Structure formats: C-alpha cells, structure tokens
Amino acid sequence: MSEEALVLTVESPASCLRCRNCGAQFPLIAVHACAECFGPLEVGYDQEKLNAVTRAQIEAGPQNIWRYAPLLPVGQDPETRATLNPGMTKLVRADRLGAELGFTAPLWVKDDSGNPTHAFKDRVVSLALTAAKGLGFTSVACASTGNLANSVAAHAARIGWPATVFIPADLEPSKIIASAVYAPRLVAVDGSYDDVNRLTSELGETDEFESTAFVNQNVRPYYAEGSKTLGYEVAEQLGWKIPAQVVIPIASGSLLTKIDKAFAELAKIGLVPNTPWKVFGAQSLGCSPVAEAFHAGHDVVQPVRPTGIAKSLNIGNPADGPYVLDAVRRTGGSIAVADDDDIREGISLLARTTGIFAETAGGVTVSCLAKLVKDGLIDTSQETVIYNTGEGLKTADVLDVHPTHRIKPTLKSATEAGLLS
C-alpha cells in the first residue's frame, strides 16, 4: 500500500487538504505536512455545502459528535464510522464556582470527562479512525501523553484493529492501566512526549508501519477536525450562540485553535449570530512555551523540556503554537499559567463547587480562570465557558486528600471523633 494511492472518496463537505502556511491544496490524502513548504495541512471544505447545513438537521441527529457530520470530513454514513460515539457531553452551569470568583454572568463547564474513555480525545480518535478506515488503513498507532493512548486502545478494541500505542514510560499509573487493559501493543518509551513523537514520526516512514494510521501524524488533518465538535456543542447547548469568553488548556494547541475555528464556521454559515468571542489559553508552569511566547510578543514558540504534574499538557514543542498565538491575539484573549500547587487547588475548587472531578489539565484551566479574573483579563459580567478535558480518576495520584475522620463502627467512637456532640 503506498500513501500516494490513499485518497478519501466518501461523499462529504470536505474538498481538499490545504496548507495553513502557504495555502497549497492537495487531495484528501493521508499526509499532514505540505509537500511545498512542510507547513501543517488542514481540511478545506466546500463552503456551499456548509452553507446548506441547518440547525434542524443537526438537532435531528444522534446524541454524539456525529450530529455534526455535515460539518466534518468523514463519518456521514454511520456504516463508515469507527467510533465509540463520543460527544454531547454535559455543559454544566457552575453557579457556585461563579459566585466564588465574582461572576455576575453565567459561568459554564464543558465537562468532557463524560466521554467513553473520559477525555476529549475520543472525539479526535473517532475522526482519525473513521478517516483511516476510509483511506484503507488496517491498523492504528499513536504517540500520547496518556488520554490519547486510552482512547486509541479502546477504539481499536471496539473495532477489532491491531493497535500500537507509544507513551512516555513515566505516565500516571492509571493512564497506563487504562491503555493496557485493552491489550494493545503498549510501548513505554524512556523519554518525554516530544521524544516519543519524534520516534513515531520515524516509525511511520518504515515498511512495517505502511498500513498503520498514526492518528496524530499521517491522518492528523482529519483527527484534528474532531476538536471542532467541542465548539459546535457548546454553541448549540447555549441555544445556538457563541460564548463571549472561553478558557481552553493548551498542549499541542490544536484543541484551542479548532474550537476557535468552529465558532468562526458556525457564524459564517449563519447557524449562530456573529457575536465576538475571546479565547483564553491555560498552561502549566512546568510547560508554558506558548504562554511565554504570548507575553514576550513573539510569533514563534521556543520549545521547552516539560516538567510538572499536568502530564497530559506536557508537550514542549507544540505543533499548533503559532496558530494559538494568532487566535488568542486576534480575539483579544490572553494565556495564563498555573504551578503544581495551583493545579491541585484548581481541582479542589472545581470539585467542591460543581461536583466535577477533573484531571490535572482541568486543574490548570480552573486555576488559570481564577488568575485571569483576578488580573481583570476575563470580564465576570460576560458569559464564560471553561473546558474540562479529562477525568480526575486518571490523575488521582497527585492529590493529597484523605478521610476527615477515622472511627470504629460504634456510637461511642463516633462521639469521640466529634460527629455527635
């Protein structure tokens, strides 16, 4: 199987791959870098087809990402999908959190821990595998900071494909188990995510992996489009409008840029009023190259060696860094940073005010929300949505929380412990 032969032939609104750097166009193939300039490719659409999409059409769809199939490059026919059917996760009104932070306008948490493998990655993997199937691949692989590994392994188990999943060896135990349980080839690599990613780029060029879709490499343009659904859903769940402010964690930066793209698409099609929105980013202090570039006024991002507990965000050389800078600057947002103690405090604040248990990435986002409010960069009189991208159970080992009392099963012991006066 040669990559040149692979072209998506399904009927969809996607019309081409387009270089985000030089604008060169290509057919719908299994390549993610421009043959002209090595810039990143993204999916281009037939705007007339997009313009024909209606709210009613979407609302009549299933309660998952595939309701937006008319706005996606693959998966229009249910039979073609390779998917756990993620999406339509809860948009939770966070009144008690809003009150603590001084909000007068509604504050919402888009809680993507409700997805099948409890992270937003199910969205992108469903797009990647559906594209992979359409392109003729027969196995799947990825480099991952953990959540992607869980999702790729679970998707492969559902559809019966062989999977090879590459992770940094020092990942959280829960994320390792939640990949291994699906019985993929699970390869622990002594190195950072960026090291793992470099290795899988090389492996993708070998004969042995010729029939393998690397979800965030050769099918990345399709994969990345899955994140748009996190913008579509929020807009629909708010009653078809764009929130005035959003706070989004940054790893590769793809999620942030695709939510921004989704809002722009909806407004262009006319599915929502074209109201302004501001995009705010959240990074951890242990890996804040995009925040640093933003505050230094740079257009490019200087790679760093990540540290710290927010391992799912620990991408030191973020592929979409420059596009994040574009989106944040264009919309008038900002990027905040949270250290490890802030992250733990953010997890606790979210949990005790909303009942949502977020992983470290969610702690980063909540803590950055609080900072952005404190610094006057987020307007508490404007409707705001923050994205929780993953589940607290996956990173529970970083918390230092315990029972408040320990007793024997007697009223006497309960009294001595102060539970009865």
Query: Given the structure tokens 């990942």, which residue do they identify?
Result: 171
CA 416 to each of CA 203, 355, 404, 412, 420: distance values in angstroms, whole numbers, following the listed order: 63, 30, 14, 6, 8
Nearest residue (CB) to its own copies, 11 versus 190: 190
Alpha-carbon dihedral 12, 18, 24, 25, rounded to 10 degrees: -10
E strand or H helix at 26: strand 25-26
Quick one: 289 or 362, whose CB is closer to its own copies?
Answer: 362
| CB 143, min distance to its own copies, A | 10
Q: Which of 395, 393, 394, 343 is nearest to 369 (CA)?
A: 343
User: Between residues 2 and 206, which has the closer beta carbon with respect to its own copies?
Assistant: 206
For the CB of residue 178, give the shortest distance to its own copies in the complex, in Å.
6
Q: What are φ and ψ of residue 161, in 5° steps? A: -100, 145
Q: How far is the CB of 392 from its own copies (least distance, A)?
A: 6
CB nearer its own copies, residue 8 or residue 343 = 343
What is the CB-side half-sphere exposure of residue 149 using CA atoms within 13 A?
A: 33
Nearest approach, Cβ of residue 196 and its own copies (Å): 6
* Tokens matching residue 409: 């099963």
| Torsional sign, CA 101, 103, 109, 110 | negative
Q: Give bridge partners of residue 283 from the DSSP assignment.
A: 337
d(CA 200, CA 338): 30
Q: Is the CB of 196 or the CB of 251 nearer to its own copies?
A: 196
Give whichever of 2 and 421 is closer to its own copies, judged by the CB atom: 421
Phi, psi for residue 80 in degrees, rounded to 5:
-85, -10
DSSP 186: E
Least separation, in Å, of the C-beta of 389 and its own copies? 16
Phi, psi of 178 (to 5 degrees): -75, 0
CB of 21 to its own copies, least distance (A): 27
Q: Map residue 167 onto helix, strand or coil.
A: strand
Q: What residues contact residue 267 under an 8 Å CB cut-off, 6+ apart? A: 242, 273, 274, 275
* Residue placing its CB nearer to its own copies in the complex, 235 or 335: 235
Q: Which is nearer to its own copies, 267 or 369 (CB)?
A: 369
User: How near is the Cβ of 376 to its own copies at its closest, in Å?
Assistant: 27
Q: Please state the closest distance from residue 62 (CB atom) to its own copies, in A.
A: 11
